[in-house]
Structure 1
Amino acid sequence: MFNLSRNCNKLVTICKLSSCNYTIFTKLPKKLVETQNVTKNLPLLQFPPKIRFYCSSESDIHTLTDEEITEITGGDEDQIHKLKVLLLETEVLRQEGKPVPSPAKMKVEHWKELLSKETRTGRRKYLDFLFKIEKIKENRIIKKQQKQLERKERPPIEQEQEGAIRYDLGHNHMFLRFYDSTMNNMYNAKLIRAMQFSQKIVIDCGYHEHMTKRENINCAKQLMLLFAENRAHDDPFDIHYCNLKKDAELEDYMHRFIPTMYDPEFPLNAHESSYLDLFPKENLVYLTPHCRQELTEFDHDATYIIGGIVDKINNEPVSMAKAKREGLKMAKLPLDQYLHWGSGSGKSLTLNQVLSIMLDIRMTGDWNHALRHVPKRKIMQDDEFAMINQRKNPWQSSRERNYTQQSVSNNYNRKTPPGDQIAP
């Protein structure tokens, strides 16, 4: 059910009874004509004296194009009617002084999101969010213009000696300046070299149907951070995004976060096909947290697969089921062997954290060093672990507790996994 705001009904009723021209707003009018004392001939309707209603002439209103309306509603008559009601409700909120973004800043996806919300509270919260984003962007532009004016009004610095070279900001200096474009070219060249000689790693993007809209957005953000962290590493992987369907919701959000991902010169491998069609099956190892086999040693000849899924709501082992169905080898990170998890913290890691762990374990072979990317809030500290042991063993002496705490700390900080012997 699409609830119509009461203010919209009031505005339509007033305009009808006062023989005032009213129209459905599609964009913000250039001039708003204030109708004064619209309640003189309406004795039955009592409104507070501070409330004023506005009407606009049809000649000053900019309408949405038919292509935009069709893209928003899909040609459905019910959706078109809801869109008209929504436009009227949005304009009423704007006239009341509520935080509503300007229609010129409203995009097609914003109207689609508003149409999907069934309650007025949800729509107002989303409009308030868009309003804040718009004002943040406007403030950035204003600050940038102010800095430019201050830079122009700044008086020139007089040289102390004639012909002397100044090395401060804005003058000549002895070092070359590295621009962002130069850094970008360096990182891209590093990825191009990784495509030729580095180890392959696969991101399985075929779980978009198992995620909600919010989870797809979070997954796309994590994939963007994953690409950035891999690009900044000294020895990056050659990442392949497989099962990335063009019409999928995940691909749409990922394309928004990485607009140049389909450019021919951009070093990103995106495939709609499966990884089974690109790599030999005997070399594939699926990393899933639901299996029993732990990844004790990193195999430099294997092609590891990371499941591109954010499962905050659905915690079913879909990645393990997919690996079993395809007959692939499975492994999980040895988190329980090296870490003591804190109470109330989940064992889930983001996609970019998993890739950072794989980058470090490939370079160093040290799990204690690689697992430093696990957030500290999820790990139990030594004093907390000793306190839990004290509760479990209340008759343990302080000397034994100190020895246990020291052994736990040494076991966590040493470079060899527990159970392995250090050669003399």
Structure 2
Amino acid sequence: MMFLRSCSLALRCSCFRNPHVSIRAFSSSRTARKDAAENALDLDAWKSVMRSQALQEETKSPSRSAIDDNRELVEMWHQAGKFVPKNITDEQLEALAQLTTRSAKKKYLKFLAIKESHKITKKEKQEKKKSEREPEGEREREELKNTFLLKFWSSSADRVQSWRAAQAMRFGQPLVYDMSYEQHMSRRELENTIAQLMESEGWNRRAADPFHLHFCGLQPDGAYQRELLKRYGSHTWERLLITATERTHVEMFPQQDLVYLTADSKNVLHTFDHSKVYIVGAMVDRSIHSGVSLANAKRLKLATARLPLDEYLDWECGAKNLTLDQMMRILMTVKDTGSWKKALEFVPKRKHAGFQQESNRFMGTTKSRFVRDDSSESRFARNDSSESRFTRNDSSESRFPARAQNHLKNKTDGHKKQAQRAQCREDRH
């Protein structure tokens, strides 16, 4: 304690003897603090500048880095022997970057690889056909060099088709495609939809009496618009003889003239009405969301109808949803001929077993299967009539495939077993 007191007294004495020392120390510490404060302020400003630059770089570079990373991923998978496309565009890489899971990326790359292989094989076939036709074409040119017949050029055919499409825009019957289903489709389904729309437009342009096509509800910067401009090109799209508008079909036509064609409707379109405006939903739905177009039509309080597929065809498998180009060809044929039998020939043969017989559609033999009768004799009579109905024509084997014959045979056997069981019950009583 005495030592500490002596040290404190010595320090006080030294401070009184040398007063400048403490002042200098205080002044030096003050300047140091001032310099440190200035440096701290400069450091904060530098941090804010660096943060702003980093944010700008993040806003500019992530798309490029994501595209580069996905390009390296595709190249790595290609070298590893996986089924991926050899050439991929920046738009496809952007779509790939939007996918979050690895399985989704694999499926998308597989789809692109299949698409690329189809293009390659198609190009090879075209080149092969072209090489085979070249000598024949040269001989034809030599033979037709001195002839009185005029050659019909493809440009002349284009002029004729364009003139018909222009007349249809003025006097033709409208056919509306409802372009309001972007949110119900994936990117692949949207691409298939645009391909089918282009096919439908081509079939309509080549028709003798084409429809006046309306693309209603087409948003200017929507997914439909971007894909159409990508496929057609801006120059061709502007010259296309169709009506593309943002307005809906309800705004463009009277409500009583509109008929929405959907497979989910209960009303059957028995006759084609030339005064009506038929609406087709521009949608490819692989996941089969049933009732989407029907709900849209009911929301707008529109009349609905479906094609008479069950009334004319023995439908076997698959949903009754047809592609847009098939719908176009069916409507064009029934408009020109008025025959559903000719029009429904464009339905794929893999989905049905052929056309129904006239007797099945208009006679009461099919209805008798659903009539309840307690007497066993009437049941036997019905079964005999149904058996004779299936066996009365020897040429039915040539018209019906094996699957349809087995189906009819199983039905006949089932009726026989039901009759035998009923007879056994009566005998017991």
State the TM-score, normalizing by the size of structure 2.
0.61
Q: 2:364 matched to 1:364?
A: no
Of 183, 186, 189, which residue of structure 1 is paired with 2:157?
A: 183
Pick closer, same or farther for the CA change 1:75–1:394 going to 2, 3 Å: farther
Of 325, 332, 336, which residue of structure 1 is paired with 2:310?
A: 336
Shift of 1:262: 6.0
Pick closer, same or farther for the CA change 1:272–1:127 going to 2, 3 Å: closer
Pick closer, same or farther for the CA change 1:100–1:93 going to 2, 3 Å: same
Q: What amino acid is aligned across from residue 174 of structure 1 in structure 2?
A: F
Of 200, 203, 218, which residue of structure 2 is paired with 1:226?
A: 200
Of 136, 139, 148, which residue of structure 2 is paired with 1:174?
A: 148
Q: Where does residue 269 of structure 1 map in the other structure?
A: 243
Q: 2:93 matched to 1:108?
A: no
Report SS of the residue matched to 2:279.
strand
Q: What amino acid is aligned across from residue 83 of structure 1 in structure 2?
A: I
Q: Where does residue 176 of structure 2 map in the other structure?
A: 202
User: Which of 1 and 2 has greater Rg?
Assistant: 2
Q: Where does residue 83 of structure 1 map in the other structure?
A: 67
Report SS of the residue matched to 1:380.
strand
Q: Which structure has greater helix proportion? A: 2
Aligned counterparts of 2:63 and 2:349: Cα–Cα separation in 1: 48
Deviations 1:125-173 (A, max 9, x none): 467558757866986998799899x98xx9x99xxxxxxxx97457343
Of 392, 399, 403, which residue of structure 2 is paired with 1:403?
A: 392
Q: Which runs of 5 or more residues in structure 1 are unaligned? A: 1-72, 158-165, 411-424
Deviations 1:18-40 (A, max 9, x none): xxxxxxxxxxxxxxxxxxxxxxx
Pick closer, same or farther for the CA change 1:109–1:170 going to 2, 3 Å: farther
Q: What amino acid is aligned across from residue 215 of structure 2 in structure 1?
A: Y
Question: Superposition pairs for residues 127-206 of structure 1, below 5 Å?
Answer: 128=113, 132=117, 168=142, 171-206=145-180
Q: Which runs of 5 or more residues in structure 2 are unaligned? A: 1-56, 361-365, 370-381, 400-429
Pick closer, same or farther for the CA change 1:145–1:295 going to 2, 3 Å: closer
Aligned counterparts of 1:97 and 1:407: Cα–Cα separation in 2: 52
Shift of 1:271: 0.9
State the TM-score, normalizing by the size of structure 1.
0.62
Of 295, 307, 311, which residue of structure 2 is paired with 1:321?
A: 295
Aligned counterparts of 2:263 and 2:352: Cα–Cα separation in 1: 17
Report SS of the residue matched to 1:340.
strand
Q: Where does residue 241 of structure 1 map in the other structure?
A: 215
Pick closer, same or farther for the CA change 1:100–1:211 going to 2, 3 Å: closer
Pick closer, same or farther for the CA change 1:98–1:170 going to 2, 3 Å: farther
Q: What amino acid is aligned across from residue 297 of structure 1 in structure 2?
A: T
Shift of 1:108: 2.2
Deviations 1:66-103 (A, max 9, x none): xxxxxxx994655444333334445556778989877x
Report SS of the residue matched to 1:113.
helix
Equivalenced residue count is 318
Report SS of the residue matched to 1:319.
helix
Deviations 1:11-61 (A, max 9, x none): xxxxxxxxxxxxxxxxxxxxxxxxxxxxxxxxxxxxxxxxxxxxxxxxxxx
Moved more, 201-210 or 110-119: 110-119
Report SS of the residue matched to 1:348.
coil
Report SS of the residue matched to 2:315.
coil
Contact preservation (8 Å) 2:177, 2:215: yes
Percent identity of paired positions between Structure 1 and Structure 2:
30
